[in-house]
Amino acid sequence: MSRSNQSAHNKLIHHLGVALGFVGLMGWYYVGDRLGLMQLLVDLFPSSHSGAAVMLGIMLVMAPGFFVWKLYNRWLERYLGVKGRYYEDDFYAKDIGKDERL
């Protein structure tokens, strides 16, 4: 396989891997919901604040899921040799000229 074909192949595999990771995130939410974690918080809050309880439950359930998602994506990109830019790379750059970051 030529280098450009291998790069395109890696990008396709990367997209499939990201899709698989997203399915994993959906599964993570489903498991959290099936365990009753959101309902537990709804039961602890007054009925007038049940929407806030559900939102808090989703945030608490999904925070570790998104952390695992980040680690999985970074591993997948490193494994496949796919290069990209991350928001935090630009955000935490130290006094680098704008043209150097692009």
pLDDT tens column, 30-87: 999 999 988 999 999 999 999 999 999 999 999 999 999 999 998 999 999 887 676 7
8 A C-beta contact, residue 18 and residue 73:
yes
Distance CA 87, CA 4 (A): 26
Domain count within the chain: 1
pTM, two decimals, is 0.70
Backbone angles phi, psi at 36, to 5 degrees: 85, 20
User: Which amino acid would we find at residue 90?
Assistant: D
pLDDT band at 2 (very low <50, low <70, confident <90, very high): low
Domain span at 50 = 3-101
Distance CA 65, CA 28 (A): 7
Distance CA 58, CA 35 (A): 12
Q: Flag whether pLDDT at 15 surpasses 70.
A: yes
